[in-house]
Amino acid sequence: MRARTFGRTGRQVSEIGFGAWAIGASWGHVDESDAIAALNTALDAGVTFIDTADVYGDGRSEKLIARVLRERGGPRPFVATKAGRRLQPHVAAGYTADALAGFVDRSRDYLEMETLDLLQLHCPPTDAYYHLEVFAALDDLVAAGKIANYGVSVERIEEGLKALEYPGVVSIQIIFNIFRQRPIERLFQRALESETAIIARVPLASGLLTGKMKADTHFDASDHRQFNRHGEAFDVGETFSGVPYEAGLAAVERIRPLVGGNVTMAQFALKWILTFDAVTVAIPGAKNEQQARANADAATLPPLDAETMAALKTIYDEDIRPFVHQRW
């Protein structure tokens, strides 16, 4: 497992991380034993970056991570969590110093960490990025020793660019995959210039880029791929990267011939992400140990050649770009 430097923190993290949304909630039922096995398998494979949030199963994800790390002992991986989505209503005015401190204290308790490695604002309303007091409150939490670093998880490119104006922001988490290529245009260069880490989330487009889905694939009622198809619960871009399901399936069939050898399409899609130097870590989810092992193995693949990269850009431009490019 190759390591990359996590921006200005200087910390080294594995280029494939573990996205812990699926073991919390909203991806169908995941047995606790499967969740624990997935985490242990990822860590055994050299994964040293875990991404979670306080709302993933209302703390279930954070508690499972704490349990696994306590039982394993030894050096801890870099654990990133998020806060803000527990606000009701979820509005910029809710991001007060008191609210953020309360969220941080709960995550410190659930993760069993005196100081959180990284706290990320969890896709706050765009207006929050224009409130200096929000970022001042995060600076105060750093000064108090409750968080070591902070970053933002964004929906839109413009939010990421705005966040870069705050010197304390060490990382930006954004949707980036073969079906969401706009970050390449401006955000990545700005991140490299400012030594800001990029966390690539939804790297498999909610499973579309595994190549395993079909028109009649069934999703459980508790799975966001069923209940958030049209953005009913949160931003529709989080589900299938905002690509209409049928259009995504058609594009996958154009990608399939490009995947060679014994490589899975999921591994191929992850390797595409790692081609970009601005990306610090990609965070695929895993609901069991087999998925966790396969995700980690993607880091061992050789780079994709220029012809393949160009073909993927053409598929994006022709089949996907009209649905997503200017939207996020």
Q: Give the catalytic positions in this structure.
A: 56
Residue 207's alpha-carbon distances to 211, 222, 313, in angstroms, are 8, 16, 19
* E-assigned strand segments in the chain: 3-5, 12-14, 18-19, 49-51, 78-83, 118-122, 150-153, 169-175, 197-201, 281-282
86-91-96 Cα angle (round to 5): 75
Phi then psi for 62, rounded to 5 degrees?
Answer: -60, -45
Nearest in space to 142 (alpha carbons), one of 174, 104, 173, 106: 104
Whole-angstrom distance, CA of residue 9 vs CA of residue 171: 9
Whole-angstrom distance, CA of residue 164 vs CA of residue 189: 12
- Radius of gyration over every alpha carbon of the chain, rounded to an integer in angstroms: 18
Whole-angstrom distance, CA of residue 263 vs CA of residue 267: 6
